[in-house]
Structure 1
Amino acid sequence: MKKNYILFLLTVLFAWVGHAQTTLTQSVDPVNVTDGGVACWSSGTGEYRENSFFRAYNLADFSIVDDFQVSSVQYGQGTADDGKVITVNLYTATSDNLTSATLTLVATATHTSSSADDLSLVTVPIAATIPAGSTIAFEVMAGDSGTNTGETFFPGINAAGENDDSYLKATGCGITVPTIATTIGFPDNQYVMNVVGNILGIEEYSLNNISIFPNPVQNELNIQLHNSITVKQVNVYSITGQVVLKAQNARKLDVSDLSPGVYLMKIETDRGDVTRKIIKN
């Protein structure tokens, strides 16, 4: 059943600010989910293939001229089976045309779906600092279920309109790059997908905003912090307190030679030290 809502007609990109947070959205109605979109799957066998749903947000289009601290993302769930794991990824993009843009991963998180959330907005906590002047690409990825059935996810949409394109990537159905939904015959697939966070002033560039990704990690670990902070040295310690990796002036670490397990990473900066736990796969 469709929900009632008040529709504010906007002629510019919608940036909703409240409770000291900013919500970046390309949806005229960024709250209500009234239907489910398409995905690559077989209605005959019930087999579900990997699908990625994308939106792009140029910070300048939202009049954001400082760094943006992401605290969570939101996406509409049309329908989903209980237990279907969704991966949400944040990237910086070279363009808001995701068909041809180069994407650089900055943060990732997962969420386990519940059918109780059908036709609603799902919120997933995720932390990342997006540099001023960047374009954010937000991906909701539902993995390939192989020959299993009952492991599906379909994105949440509404017909209120959108200010920029929705993109679908589904290699199993021949859509090998993020492709504008309207160009492949799905003009009603206007995904409800939002990025929530705070605009950082210079006084907020603190060690609390340091993030590391991916974590768990296999090969390369990234340290993300504001450019005004200088990393002096990074030490990685085993659980027995032994230094197993050391680097100077580094924001990327090659951890491929470390054995799988839990480590502590101490980051020494010109503003003090901070320690983070990392998991090596």
Structure 2
Amino acid sequence: MKKLLLLSLFVAPLFSSAQVLLSEDFNALTVGDVSTEITGTIPGQGDYLFFASNGTAPTTSTNAGVTNSQIVSGGNASLGLQFEGPNGDKGSRYMWQDGFPALWAARVSGNNIVELELDINPGAGTTTSRNTFGAYIFNAAGDRVLAGFTVRAATRELFLVAYSTPTGNPVGSYTYSLAAAPGIQLPADTFSRIGISYNKTTGQVLIKGPGIAAAGISVNGSATGTDPAEVDFISFSGNTTAAPNSSSATMVMDNLQVKAVSTGSLLSVNQVTNNVDFSVYPNPSRDLVTISNDMNAVIETIEMTDLNGRVVKSQKINATDAQVSISDLSTGVYMMKIVTDQGTATKKVVKE
């Protein structure tokens, strides 16, 4: 690949012998470009390194630049990371902090499962862009995706990525669809929490998220005994001969957490985000918006923030459906965080 990547934050007890190795909500950073360069050599905000490429010649991608990686106010409640993918047939984006090998080496003995959880908003899914976005856990050489996930901008379909050996194929990093066509599709314009894990002892790779059965979907990985060494936010062109890419898309990611555990704990009940899909209507609206869901989730509270991350309204609900007045808000775009007994969702609301 091009470097050893990673996010270095803190090591702290979670429960029992589990450890949180990384945690990032981007709220300590400043709205704007993360980095001042795209070669992955000079740290930017939060000591993040950024690599952007249009791909090897010949390529039709032309938009690699520092603006491909930005801190924006549209995170899941506050600030988030917005990635922009390539606008042509080749190219990639990676963002990371150095230092993960030391964090992994210092883990509690027996914590041989690495778990990654991340909120991702796929947008409306109306773009023609073939770009994919997500997160990868790499080995030290950067040539194996021990576990990862991607979301396709055009369809919002979720995929699992794992270093594995599908029947009849050589070993390699493969992308797996999670259901028959059209696959597992994430809700539009909403943050969904995705969890992936890699078991160093067994090689098993697991994914959990909206639309997936509670037990998750697993693949028998082929990297048994390999230590994870880097964690990346990623985006790729997504171009194929049958479905060429000619435009870029963006997605917003937030609330990264990476843990070392001895037994699986992905997306425990109080951590699951967007296991319930909400309808918020009419949208746009001038006065009242109605919030409803078909899972009988009890809405506990709502919180609305403006695009600068300032809380402009909060309200206790305690009902499965609710009406919220926005008549007192100024014309503009707001993010509504809906907290329920089954998880959390964030919806964009437009005030006319």
* TM-score for both structures, normalised by structure 2: 0.25
* TM-score for both structures, normalised by structure 1: 0.29
